[in-house]
Structures are given as C-alpha cells and as structure tokens.
Chain A
Amino acid sequence: MQRITQVLLLTMLNGLLAQVEIDGYVKNYNAIRLNKDYDYLILRNRLRLNLNYLPSEYALGYASFDVKNDHMGDQNDLELNLREMYIDLYFDHYDLRIGKQQIVWGKADGLFITDIINPLNLREFILADFEDIRMGINSIKVQAYFGNSRLESIWIPQFVPAKFSEPGEAWAFYTPIDEIAKSIPDTLIMIYNITEPEKRLNNSEYGFRYSTHFKGIDLALSYFYTWDDYPVFRQYFQLTNNPLTPFSVTIKPEYDRLTVLGGTFASTIGPLVIRGEGALYQKRNFYTENAADGDRVVQKDFLNYMIGGEISPGKTFISGQFIQEIILDYDDLVVNDKIVNTGTLLLSDTFVNETIKPEIFVIYNFTHEDYWNRFSIKYYPVDGVEIILAADILGGKKDNKLFSQFDDNDNVYIKLKYSF
C-alpha cells in the first residue's frame, strides 16, 4: 500500500513538473572604482530562476527567485530574494493577477514619472538593471478589456518603502541630516527612528489606469493614491543652553500620503517614434528655509513631464528625452529649484551580425549641471551568452546633486551572463 502511495505521489509530482517551465540566468558582475586605489565596488554572482506553472491556457503560476552572492574581502553574503510570485487568471474580458508582482506604467526610459507603483531598490543608485531596481510588491491587479481600451485597477494592501544604502556605503544618498551637519557643525542632532504607516486597510494604496489606442496613438490616463516611497525628514530646531552646541535639531523621518495624476502617449510620425509622459504630484513634500515653518517642510503640487523621440536608421538607434520638473505655487524659501530640466540621449548600433552592440547613454541635468554617462559594449559570442564591458561616469559642477554626489563612484565593470 505504501509503495502504491509513493508511486501515485511520484506520478502526480512528475505531472506537475511537466507543466512547469524553468528559465533564468547565471551572472557574474565585477565593478572597479576609478579612483587612485582602484578598489572593488562590486564582486557578485547571481542565479535567477523563473518558474512558470501552466495548468491551462486560462491560468498561470509564476515565481522568480534570486540567489545573490556578494564577496568583497572578508564579506561573503548570500542573499535569497523572492522577486515575484503571483497567480494569473485569464477570463474572456478581464485578467486577474494576485501576488507579489512588478507593475509597470509609463513610457519614459530610465525615469520614474508615472512608473511609481513599485518601490525602488536604490542600494546601487539607479545603475542596476531596471528589472532589479523595481521591487515586487504584494498587490491585486485587475485588467478589464473593451475594444481597443483597457481599464487597469490595482490595490496594494501594504506600503513598502524604497530601499537605500546605509550611511557610509558607496551609494548612500546625501540627506538633510548631512546638510545640517555640514552647514551648522555644532548642532546637536537627534534622529527618531523612521515611522512607517501602520499596517491597516485604510493605509493601503490603490490606482487606476485607462489606456486606449486611437487613430494610431497609444494613450493612457492614470490615478494613483499612494504613499511617497521616500521619507521626509521633518526638522525641529531649538536653542539650547549649552554654549558648545547652541542649537539642537530633532529629526523625524516619516512617510506621507501622495496623490499622483498621470498621462502618457506614444505614436509614430514616419520613421520617428514620439513618446510623452506627465504626472501631477499633489501636495508633495519639499524642504523650506522658512524658520517660521515648524518642521521645515512644505507641501506643494509638483509637475513632472517628459517628451521624447527615437529613430532607428538602419541598425543605429537614437533616442532622446527632455524632462522638466516644476514646483507649482513656488516660494523662494523652498530649498529645491523651482524648475529643473534634464535631458537623456541613447545611441546604439550593432555590428557583425548583431553580435557586437556598442551603446552610449547620457543623462545630463541642465539645472544642476550634473550627469551620468554610461559607455558599454555588449558582445554575444554564442546564443544565450552576453558579455558586457562598460563604464559609468558620474559627476557635476555642483556638489551633492543627484548624480554629482556619487562623483567618487566612477567605475568600469564587466558582466558575464548565461541565460538558460
């Protein structure tokens, strides 16, 4: 009897496995910092496994795992990460996806304007592959289809913030705490632990997106009621009686609610593809120098939009984007610039039957005069194998801006990837 049970179980398991497709890759990634010591920035191996379970054409089970090994000096970290795990159900006129997932909105390349559903892992700034920057989030997504249109509804029961490097690490961001310590050196700084929204229903996030294709144009409108994934550092200054530290400041990092209205379009004019994306962030937090303001934080509406185009003559690919950020109802005491202009340029080509692909990607912030340039050559010696040799150059004229704060992190890297 026991043997029959074992045989039955094995048969069932075999049947189940026969319906599971496995793919993924193994990747080795080594980056060296371009400073006088040429110290290692990253020495990493990664195994990615994607499992697709296909019981029928009306359902799918999907899971994606990462096993990551960072080995720097004595450090030899092994990290297992469940990137995504969800179930898809396909009906005649709507689809349902439940579980940990990545939800991608927007049309911009390398930017997050309306594409803000998933929190970002910024522990390596935005230099990692985009599939690794976005963190999967537990959510329910329903997409209803009618004609050329669809209505997408998402519900995220629990807020997950963005991830950052710890202070002192290579990719640690410059924060208001650093600014205070720098500008008022004798200040006593007390920092509260960061407060996250309580885990309850009315702290959940939700959004809707309507998209359509009309006379050759792809259009979408979106609404997202969310939490800002980035904490605001509320600052409370006080005078002290201590002559050595005449000021004290209490800092309370918190997450605040945010409402984002967005829209996108994409179309073609002859050989040119044009794309655009815009979002209005209602009551976003900005720092102010107004001492009368209790916490040195003001809320302003914020507009962020992009317009871009791309063309591919022959095997060459050229893409450019212009991005503008505008703080509405601006006052001069707001620390941030009222208007910030940024441009991106991507150039790539292929040679030797598409086995060699050089690429240049540039982001330049015209307002802050800082930049990130990436020069890379991809080589595909055999099917499924990719070798990338690249350099990231970051810098700028002004200190501690988005890219210039990582001026010391210029690096060259090599990645070897085998997909299976």
Chain B
Amino acid sequence: MKRFTILLTTAVILSLGFSFGKSLTAREIMEQNEQMMNTRDERSDLTMKLINKRGKERKRQVVLYSKTDNQNNDKTLIRFQAPADVKGVGLLSIEEGGQKNQWLYLPALKRVRRISSSEKTDSFMGSDFSYEDIEQNDLNNYKYSLLREENFDGVMCYVIRSIPVDEQVKQETAYSKSDVWVRKDNYISIKVNFYNKKADLIKIMNSNDIRPVEGTDKWRAHFIEMQNVNTGHRTELLYKNIIINQGVADKYFTQRYLERGR
C-alpha cells in the first residue's frame, strides 16, 4: 500500500535492474523494501526538530494517522500537538479517484479550509524533508541500478541508484538521482543521498534506531535525520509509539474528526 511514512523516502524508485549473479536484482531489492514499508494503517507520535547551522532548534510534535482503503486510496491525518501556538491544527489528506483533496483546520478560526494539494517538491511542515521524501513513490516511476554491496555502519547493505524513468517524472521531482543504502538483513533503507538537477549532492538522510515494531513483522527507523548540504540546516525526526496494522478507525479521516482539534 502507498502510505504516509517518512521512511519510505527511499523506497522510491525502480525499474528493471540487472541481476547480480544469483543475488536479487535492484528492483527486487526495492520491492522487498517497499514490502517492508507497506502497511494497511499506521499511527505514530512524531517529534520534529528543525536545527539551523548555528544549532538553534525549533520543535514540532504531531500525531500521524494513515490508512489505505479497499480502493487503494490513501488517507492521512496530521495533528499538531506542539508548539502551543499551533496545537490542534490538523491537516487531512484524502485520495479520491487519483486526486488528492486536502483540508486544513485552524482552531483559532474554528474553520476547515480547503487547500491545494502539496507539490511533491514542497517542504513538509517547513522541514528539510519534501513531500516526495516522505511519501511512498511508485516504483515504476524510476529506473535503478545496483551500484555495489558494502558494509555501512556495521551492517551489510545494497547501494542502489535510482533515476527518473521519463521526462514527466523528471519534471515532478527535485532530484536527478538518489543513492540508497538498503540493509541486506531486513531491507530497511538506512541512508539516502539526494542529488539535484545538476547532479550535485544536496541532501543526506540517515536512519537510526532501527528495530522491529511490536506485534508485526515490520521494522522501522525510530530516528531519522535529513541534512541540507548547502545550508547546513537539518531536520531530526523522532518516532514513538508506532502502531502498525492494528486497525486505525476510519473516523480519523473525516472533517468531523478534524474539527475536534484533538
């Protein structure tokens, strides 16, 4: 299922890679990665730290709900818990027939406001992550190749390069290519290098604190950092209370619930 989760970043890509002896092809590796990341529904508490190059921090706390319905439409709700001036703000996204509808609830105005869908390249909540970094991308939109296998951070990884499959995808993405380190033991991606249209390295994402989520066969990184190479700005994501496939109720993905502000 295509769902909302930061980790998916990577998953990105694919196409027909070449086989590597009897090993998995690059595409097969990314399919394994996608399978690891896919869920029917998910809920988590997320703390986001925005840190500038002087070390000054700003913190956001949100609750994330996501679900994919029987028609394969994604639904997400992001509810802000902190800081105090944005507490209760909610962002509801519902896919409907290939179109994404979004509503923003502002408690001070007591009003749900229709907003335009975010572009893939837009910043996610003012962070160094863009929406394409945090959403599961269609594997068919990318070609990939297996660059090498190497030990990274103490674990064996596949290093896979992905590039847009055609001009349309090229126009929609901010990246000309990305290199992703996928762990061989559980297919979780632990590092991604992102390159801009001039093929310069612009962002580096590192995932840490990787452990299985209780009650499932899924593994998740509980701490992810994205660094902007040019500005020195970085964003840290700390996940807590991740719950997967435990049946997030449909009521969370309604304007009715959005308006409750909690």
Contacts and interface: CB of A to CB of B under 8 A. Distances in A.
Interface of A: 23, 25, 52, 54, 60, 95, 102, 104, 107, 129-131, 143, 145, 150, 213, 216, 218, 266-268, 270-273, 275, 310-312, 314-315, 350, 353-355, 382-384, 386, 417, 419-420
B110 A102 contact: yes
Nearest to A134: B110
A23 B87 contact: yes
B52 interface: yes
Contacts of A311: 116
Contact of A104 (B58, B96, B110): B110
Contact of B84 (A271, A312, A384): A384
Q: Quick one: which of B59, B84, B101, B254 has the most chain A CB within 10 A?
A: B84
A386 B256 contact: no
B116 A273 contact: yes
Interface of B: 50, 52, 58-59, 82-85, 87, 96-97, 99, 101, 108-111, 114-117, 119, 122-123, 126, 233, 254-256, 260, 262
B108 A131 contact: yes
The 7 A-B pairs at the shortest CB distance, nearest first, are namely: A419-B84, A383-B83, A419-B85, A266-B114, A354-B126, A384-B83, A104-B110
A25 B122 CA distance: 31
A216 B109 contact: no
A311 B96 CA distance: 21
Q: Quick one: which of B83, B101, B116 has the most chain A CB within 10 A?
A: B116
B109 A131 contact: yes
A218 B109 contact: no
Nearest to A24: B84
B256 A420 contact: no
B83 A419 contact: yes
Given A419-B84, A419-B85, A275 B114 contact: yes
A218 B114 contact: yes
A129 B116 CA distance: 25
Given A353-B233, A419-B84, A95 B115 contact: no
Contacts of B117: 268, 271
A268 B87 contact: no
Contacts of A130: 108-109
A166 to B, nearest CB: 28
A145 B256 contact: yes
B116 A268 contact: yes
Contacts of A315: 123
A420 B84 contact: yes
29 contacts: A25-B85, A60-B260, A102-B110, A107-B114, A129-B108, A130-B108, A130-B109, A131-B108, A131-B109, A143-B256, A145-B256, A213-B255, A266-B114, A267-B114, A268-B101, A268-B117, A271-B117, A271-B119, A273-B116, A310-B116, A315-B123, A355-B58, A383-B82, A383-B85, A384-B83, A384-B84, A417-B85, A419-B84, A419-B85
